[in-house]
Amino acid sequence: MRHRKGFNHLGRKKGHRRAMLANMASSLIVHKRITTTLAKAKALRSYVEPLITKSKDDATHSRRVVFSYLNDKEATAELFKEVSPKVSERPGGYTRIIKLGTRQGDSADMALIELVDFNELLLKEAKPKKARRSRRAGSGTKAAAPAAEAKAEEPKAEAATEEAPKEEEGGEESKEA
């Protein structure tokens, strides 16, 4: 019976599944993103995220434990040198799975799994965000921008001219009284 066996066996025996996940985890750490099936990506996420958490503590014991899972000296070294300093402040969720559609040959659901802090496109977009003013639809041209700024300056000038006569009127009333 398979009661309470709550993980995907991926159609493989234990040794084959362990070797496949170790190879995929090494490839993910070295290349920062890989394309695979959705089921394998979900299984890989539960395999690699505890290893990344272990890599935050750079001790001999944690290096040996991670190496026993990955069986790859270069991937282990890169995990401790490059990946762990970038994710040291992150409490979890080190990977992102993006669905890509189906594979043509067998209609398998494909996915891209990547390390979150290593996507240069998203990191570049996140930094230079500026406060944008909302404008009406249709005034998105460059010529409309100086006109909008000129309109914004005009009420300030009108307010200054309106305040001056009020002060004079107030002064006259005080003189009359």
CATH number of the domain encompassing residue 80: 3.90.1030.10
For residue 145, is pLDDT > 70? no
pLDDT at 136: 75
In this structure, is residue 101 part of a structural domain?
A: yes
Q: Running DSSP on this structure, what letter comes out for residue 99?
A: E
Residue 102 near residue 37 (C-beta atoms within 8 A) = no
Domains held by the chain: number: 2
In this structure, is residue 160 part of a structural domain?
A: yes
Q: Identify the top-confidence range among 38-52, 120-134, 154-168.
A: 38-52
Residues 64 and 141 in one domain: no
In this structure, is residue 6 part of a structural domain?
A: no
Q: Of 1-5, 15-19, 23-27, 40-44, where does mean pLDDT reach its minimum? A: 1-5
Interhelix angle 14-31/38-55, rounded to 10 degrees, is 70
Q: Using 50, 70 and 90 to split pLDDT, how confident is the model at 176?
A: low
pLDDT at 86: 93
- Interior angle at CA 77, CA 74 and CA 82, nearest 5: 115
In this structure, is residue 28 part of a structural domain?
A: yes
Range of the domain at 19: 14-119
The pair of structure tokens assigned to 167 is 């002060």
* Tens-digit pLDDT profile for residues 34-55: 999 999 999 999 999 999 999 9
In this structure, is residue 128 part of a structural domain?
A: no
Q: Running DSSP on this structure, what letter comes out for residue 109?
A: E
In this structure, is residue 158 part of a structural domain?
A: yes
Assign residue 4 a region (left: φ > 0; alpha: ψ between -120 and 50; beta: otherwise): left
Q: Using 50, 70 and 90 to split pLDDT, how confident is the model at 131?
A: low
Q: Give the residue from 119, 141, 158 where a domain finishes.
A: 119
For residue 169, is pLDDT > 60? no
Residue 35 near residue 111 (C-beta atoms within 8 A) = yes
The pTM of this model reads 0.67
